[in-house]
Every structure is written in structure tokens, then in C-alpha cells.
Amino acid sequence: MDAMMISSSALTAQRTRMNLIASNLANALTTRTPEGGPYKRKDAMFAAMPMEKNSFASILDKKSQPEALGVEVMEIMEDHNPPRLQYDPSHPDANQQGYIAYPNVNVIEEMTDMMSATRSYEANVTASKASMSMQMKAMEILSK
């Protein structure tokens, strides 16, 4: 079950990452937010976390097997790079010099990150399916 729990934690983390990327892309031209100023790009910070094992057998087995590590989103960070300035004095959000502050979102970088997150998600789905298949085969062997 460790493999299923690890894959599940990775799927959750990558889904969070994909949601943040989608938000970044959707707000790539947002010049005004409730906090004031342009939208700030967001990114997820991942960290390894030990998987919970609550059964008596797992406590006894803990010394013989290495600890299984999953992944979790530790923090959602805002990018503090300065906004991209573009000259357009007719825009309602332009400053006194005529520049608009656009978010520091690079669409090409976001699309590359989205492809990476999608590939990671797919790899964890495959690992989860393989683990499930192995468990089913083990149950078949035990039932014979």
C-alpha cells in the first residue's frame, strides 16, 4: 500500500501545481488585483514527507524497511520579481509616465511547467496502476 499512498500524494501535489499554472496563465494580463497592483505569479514548493503507517505490523516492520516518503505542497509562494512595464498611456491602469505594470508571468515558461506537471502526473498514474495490478496478482495467488 505504500506505493499507492506515495503515488496518491504525488498526484495531489501535481494537481495543485497544475492549478497554480492555470491561474498564472489566466491572469497573465491582469493589471489590477484586490491587493493592488498586477497579479503576482504563484508557484508550489514541494517537500518529502513520511507516509503514515498505523498498523501494528507496520510498526514492527519499521526497523527492517526504509521509511516510505511521499510528497506534499509545503507552501504556495508568490514571485517577488518586479512586474513587466509596457508603455500605453491610454490604458486606465497606466501610471503618470504612461507605463502599465503587467504580471511577471512568462507564458512559455508556464506552458513548459504545465507539460512537466502533466508528465509527472501521468507517470504517477502509471505507477499507481502498476501497484494496483501487483496487488491484484498477489490476491489471486493467495486465493488459490
Q: Please tell me which residue, 4 or 10, carries the higher pLDDT value.
A: 10
> 9-24, pLDDT tens digit by residue?
999 999 999 999 999 9
Q: How confident is the model at residue 94 (pLDDT cuts 50, 70, 90)?
A: very high
Instruction: For residue 41, name the pLDDT band (cuts at 50, 70, 90).
Output: very high
Per-residue pLDDT at 67 exceeds 80: no
Grid cell 507517470 in the structure block, residue: 123
Q: pLDDT at position 139, please?
A: 84
- Among the listed residues 43, 15, 36, 38, the one whose alpha carbon sits nearest the alpha carbon of residue 28: 38
Count up the domains in the chain and report the number.
Answer: 1
Q: How far apart are CA 38 and CA 119, in angstroms?
A: 30
Answer yes or no: pTM beyond 0.75.
yes
Residue 40's domain comprises: 2-143
